[in-house]
Structure 1
């Protein structure tokens, strides 16, 4: 037996225990369902035609045209020219603004285009400089205060972070993310959603994640209830520097515990669990489930980190403000194509040029974003006040507050070592007061629990974990 390995009888016993627990959960879920046989059946469609429709509408050709245009501005460094019509960050911002305006015209004025900005200085901005975002807002029909954001950063850089004049095409970092943002606006603006959608091309990311901070300040000033920020940064390359070619998976990074957690909340979370269930992490699980159902040949790799090791993105500003956010990034990065002067050394090509973008793959990652945004915006909001009871009893009771537009709820549970929600029970909404469901013979000690809200058309919100640890 190898050192550290468990004896075979012990391994078999543990495997048998896991199987028995899963079987017990399934049989008990069935038993619980039988106890509510008198309830009217709930019409919950397996498929949502809207989600397939928006996925099918994504165009790799449109995204190529966007990146070609952005690369054509030479550099989009935050400190670059703002006056020229053909080169620099100013020309790029005006082009994105015009593109949003044209999309808004096509949808009958459904987009409000704004340019929130702030004059800033800092370690990477030695002189006062206006950092400006370009943002399009598509107001929700019945739940406009609830906001889902898709973001990518417009600025680019060369090897020297202060070099504002050399060519820095930034085709993948992050014209690919901006192309996803613009394509999201083009496709989703043809539909109407309950919640508000925000399409954000951010500036100043390379100078210190400044664009994210500016958008968060604007969100707070406007009273937005941000349910999610899907930050897309470096999403178009399939050739890793390690030689791996991967066009069938994408990484979604999510924080494990909330950035604004108080010491008292942390104490409760350490005791009762929730390290893996911050709202951002349940958004990532939501994305993975949607990808499995509505996309072909795209696996979501759930990465249990806020960002790549020691690195950052604009989603961090949202997390620091208490808004759920994830980072979407290609599966295998190629570092010769990031933050590099254009050059050839020893036969190796450096620089972030358009030949490093795989457009069918970029379109797939964009579809993941659009399906997520559409599903979330068309579903009711997430449940609030989620709580569980059942200490020293064989049953667990899950409680939550009613959600506007919800006609049903799904109570979820999973093994404490399971990364994905596994078992569920659906229950019709009951009046306008607090909601609850008792799960007979589901012991509170052994499982993690959550609740999602379902609308009349079957669109479903992300799952909410009980208590402050999982609250959106």
Structure 2
């Protein structure tokens, strides 16, 4: 069980109106707890297991969604699946007065081991633009394509119910629920192609985000969110995993040298995005505990968040805790009494809805919250106190900032103080050597951004090239 973040909010006083704040026990004699958000509870409750089940069944009924499969048929193959997903997004948009931009983000791939001949890899995305910061993005993704035992077999039936119709259904359902609300930042709902053939859909969208200069502050990739009974014999519908990479793969030699002396190996933007989602689960998703897994993905394996990580964006994988490998990448068959294949009877729709709720609430919270602070710096070596500085946000949403800290061996933030609308604060008698620190931006309702660890290692925005 992750530790609940301890939060506090003091009433503003005259000292807090200055650009620099000295934090002492007297300033925080009056403390308030985190402000619970009823609208986030409502979003979690609005997710429908029945609608998700119907969407998974529709995707399964296309027979196969292999990247190299039929594209002209109206009933079979990835082309038909893509057109149906696009039509669903358009239907949702019509119901919210055109609030979604529905488009194809695509490229032609060839000469690859798993795509030897030219194939158009097409992503279907829907963008719900924010009212204040339309270029600030949080993304939820799921991959469309499916496969059987032979990764090049594009004709055999490959229902892909859990891997990954469950993730795509979650993306569509999140769009249905969140399109009823208006946000400060933008939300992108992405159905990606080409995952099984080499993560091509994610690469295409990550490059598109770069070209459009999107401020991507989080990618939640959902890949298998429907299975509750694992190959290990465990049945559990109360837990989920969040995989997150540590230091960025694009980290420079100079940045690595600095990190060696300041720490931050477990405080990348992706790690603090994962902590943020974990906190959402604790507060808003009943009977769900998320496991923070400090690894890019499952051992030696990959998913569609990786192309975003490769470009320096904060991205995580959300998925079930217990996998059943007999139901992944398998021909439909029965051998020695064991049933193989990714069929719909292996999906628990209530569990899929629970993980979809986790995504929807996390997206909403980040889109309502201010952007994560930029330029976070820290000082305090050989001093009794610790000082943090940051650039104040220029948006209409931010009303103040909260400093977090924790013991270096702890997975979650343990302590926090609200410091008001300032750009610098000092924690008196809190020694820099004993803790990790970070800063979050806060809006008028008390909704916060993810925590930003000081320096390049924790920044949510870097020069992505």
TM superposition score category, shorter chain reference = over 0.9
* Cα displacement (A) at 1:471: 0.7
Correspondence list, 1:181-200, <5 A: 181-200=171-190
Matched, 1:136 2:126: yes
Aligned-residue offset at 1:211: 0.4
Question: Residue by residue, what CA displacement relative to the aligned partner does 1:163-193 show, whole Å, maximum 9, x if unpaired?
Answer: 0000000000000000110001000000000
- The answer on 1:119 being equivalent to 2:129 is no
- C-alpha offsets along residues 5-40 of structure 1, whole Å, 9 cap, x if unaligned? xxxxxxxxxxxxxxxxx9xxxxxxxx94543269xx
Q: Between the two structures, name the one with larger relative contact order (CA 8 Å, sep ≥ 6).
A: 2
**Counterpart check, 1:307 vs 2:294:** no
Q: CA deviation at 1:218?
A: 1.2
1:408 to 400, 407, 428: 400
Distance between the aligned counterparts of 1:42 and 1:96, measured in 2? 48
Instruction: Give the equivalent residue in structure 2 for 1:17.
Output: none
Deviation sequence 1:266-287 (CA, Å, 0-9, x none): 1111221000000000011111
Equivalent pair of 2:35/2:445 in contact (CA under 8 Å): no
Q: TM-score under structure 1 normalisation?
A: 0.91
Where does 1:221-232 land on structure 2 (aligned, <5 Å)? 221-232=211-222
Q: 1:101 aligns with which of 79, 90, 97?
A: 90
Q: CA RMSD in A?
A: 1.5
Bigger shift: 103-112 or 215-224? 215-224
Instruction: Give yes or no for contact 2:384–2:429 (8 Å, CA) kept in 1.
Output: yes
Are 1:176 and 2:147 an aligned pair?
A: no
Instruction: Give the structure 1 partner of residue 419 of structure 2.
Output: 427
* Equivalent residue for 2:430, pick from 433, 439, 442: 442
**Which consecutive segments of 4 or more residues in structure 1 shift more than 4 A?**
41-45
Identify if the C-alpha distance between structure 1 residues 37 and 337 changes in structure 2 by more than 3 Å, giving closer, same or farther: closer
Matched-pair contact (CA < 8 Å) for 1:44–1:458: no
1:293 is the counterpart of 2:274: no
Residue of structure 1 equivalent to 2:13: none
Q: Which runs of 5+ in 1 are unaligned?
A: 1-21, 23-30
Q: Which residue of 2 aligns with 1:367?
A: 357
- Offset at residue 44 of structure 1 (A): 7.2
What SS is found at the alignment partner of 1:275? coil
Separation in structure 1 between the aligned mates of residue 224 and residue 171 of structure 2, nearest angstrom: 13
**1:43·1:458 contact (CA, 8 Å) conserved in 2?**
no
Q: How does 1:25-424 map to 2 (within 5 A)?
A: 32-36=23-27, 46-121=35-110, 122-403=112-393, 404=395, 405-424=397-416
SS at match of 1:174: helix
Total equivalences in the alignment: 437
User: Secondary structure of 2:55's match?
Assistant: helix
Name 1:467's counterpart in structure 2: 455
Tell me the distance in 2 between the aligned counterparts of 1:32 and 1:43: 16
The runs of 5 or more residues in structure 2 that have no matched partner are 1-5, 7-21, 461-465
Provide TM-score, normalisation by structure 2.
0.92
